[in-house]
Amino acid sequence: MVSATVGKGTALGAALLSLLAVPAHAAVPGAATTTATAGRLPAPDMAGLDGVLRTALSQGAPGAMARIDDNGTMYTAAEGVADTSTGRAISAADRFRVGSVTKSFSSVVLLQLVDEGKLDLDASVNSYLPGLLPDDAITVRHVLSHRSGLYDYTNDMFAQTVPGFEAVRNKVFTYRQLVNLSLQKPRTNAPGAAYAYSNTNFVIAGMLIETLTGHSVRTEYTNRIIKPLGLRDTFYVHPATAIPGSHAHGYLTPDQAGSALVDSTEQTVSWAQSAGAMISSTRDLDTFFSALVRGRLISATRLAQMEQWAPVNSTQGYGLGLRRRDLSCGISVVGHTGTVQGYYTYSFTSQDGRRSVTALANTSNNASVLGTMARTLESAFCGTKATRAASHGAAPAERHEDIAPAITRD
């Protein structure tokens, strides 16, 4: 059974967000020059968005869905199924594993600790976690911006997609065990020398959160972000394996062409923890990123630091646990991507936070679906005129870095 829904309505949460004051923050060197407000953005292209989701299904995703919150107006689209065994249609209200979108939550908590005078971004990680790293030159800022040079242990863990996953599906790691896996390999660059995405960095972020607060990351996410924003579908359940409530199942694509998808829904995600173990919904992620850029979670100074972009490629930058993407229509949006076994997530907001979109396909290890789902941003922010401007040139091939970035197939 395959079903499709496209809807429009007034989202109470988004409407409340639209009434909040938006503190100004300083321009950041290296940031994109185009800043579009909701009033200047073209209307979302819902027909185009639904077409993107249908294309993802034709490429192997069991289901795909998206939600746009546009300054008080909500749009949703959904295609396919949340559960292949029952045929239940996927819904934009379903919960799912958000993967590396978790990194933005971890970064926000640490930046709040900077605001509170409990953390210095330019201090050595070892000053807070003595003896953890072999180089005192690696700072907190290097970790949050993926410029530490620490090897990403997932390159080896998931070099074989399904066997790698099954080996860790129910395993529980300590933070230090994960860091030690990284330290067994040479570093990719000197501290601060280059951007190189590594999950190791945000495992360290979790260690910093727990050391500085004396509480679990679950407690800090809940008290500092989830409760203040009224997020109803956002959880950190590690090391439990189930997604509570109505949710989309995740389906991992094996490396062997033609092999059956693997239901990867239940897992500890202990291999990621503070780098990728959160559960959420399209509504909650739209609320989170909108609130973030509107200054509800961190100070204007910290937000400006979060948006100091290191170049990733010709159309993307990375700040402190935050991505910037430059779209074909000249608009730049901020947020994060997420890959965890069985789920691809794109969650981004306009630079004023007035329009946000979160899109999800319930499969992974499928490069075609990954590239297709990136086009949800074009439909959401560029409207029907989502054609690449000549000045932008051809877009780089889409590839998540969230799991095993050295493995080109995912």
Neighbours of 389 (CB within 10 A): 10
Token pair recorded at residue 177: 């065990």
Side-chain half-sphere of 383: how many Cα atoms within 13 Å?
9
Which residue is listed with tokens 């910037």? 324
Contact (CB, 8 A) for 276 and 100: yes
298/305 Cα distance (integer angstroms): 11
Contact (CB, 8 A) for 396 and 346: no
358/162 Cα distance (integer angstroms): 27
* Given the residues 18, 91, 100, 281, the one annotated as active site: 100
- Smallest CA-to-CA distance from 328 within 397, 392, 398, 379 is with 392
Weakest mean pLDDT among 337-341, 350-354, 395-399 = 395-399
Known catalytic membership, residue 100: yes
| Mean pLDDT over each residue of the chain, to the nearest integer | 89
376/387 Cα distance (integer angstroms): 13
pLDDT of residue 396: 58
Q: What is the mean pLDDT of residues 206-214?
A: 99
- Categorize the per-residue pLDDT at 14 as very low, low, confident or very high, splitting at 50, 70 and 90: very low
Neighbours of 355 (CB within 10 A): 26
CA distances from 266 to 51, 248, 340 (A): 30, 11, 12
Neighbours of 146 (CB within 10 A): 28
Neighbours of 232 (CB within 10 A): 15
- Categorize the per-residue pLDDT at 291 as very low, low, confident or very high, splitting at 50, 70 and 90: very high
Which residue is listed with tokens 């500085």? 212
Which residue is listed with tokens 């639904």? 50
Q: Is the pLDDT of residue 154 over 50?
A: yes
Which residue is listed with tokens 């949703």? 76
181/90 Cα distance (integer angstroms): 37
DSSP type of residue 119:
-
pLDDT, tens only, 24-83: 233 333 333 343 444 589 999 999 999 999 999 999 999 999 999 999 999 999 999 999
Q: What is the mean pLDDT of residues 232-241?
A: 98
pLDDT, tens only, 379-392: 999 999 764 443 34
410/368 Cα distance (integer angstroms): 10
Q: What is the mean pLDDT of residues 293-303?
A: 98
CA angle 261, 272, 363 (to 5 degrees): 20
pLDDT, tens only, 310-341: 999 999 999 999 999 999 999 999 999 999 99
CA distances from 105 to 206, 258, 277 (A): 10, 37, 11
pLDDT of residue 77: 98
- Quick one: the chain helix, strand, coil %, rounded to 5? 35, 20, 45
Token pair recorded at residue 162: 């399904």
102/107 Cα distance (integer angstroms): 9
pLDDT, tens only, 96-117: 999 999 999 999 999 999 999 9
CA dihedral in degrees (398, 388, 5, 355; nearest 10)?
90
The alpha-helical segments, DSSP class H, found in 230-337 are: 282-293, 300-306
- Smallest CA-to-CA distance from 104 within 379, 346, 372 is with 346
> What's the one-letter identity of residue 187?
R
Strands (E), 11-107: 63-70, 73-83, 88-89, 96-97
Contact (CB, 8 A) for 298 and 111: yes
Helical (H) or strand (E) element with 204: helix 199-213
41/331 Cα distance (integer angstroms): 9
pLDDT of residue 402: 72
Helix axes 102-115, 282-293, angle to 10 degrees: 30
Contact (CB, 8 A) for 82 and 63: yes
Bridge-based pairing of strands 363-364 and 251-252 is parallel
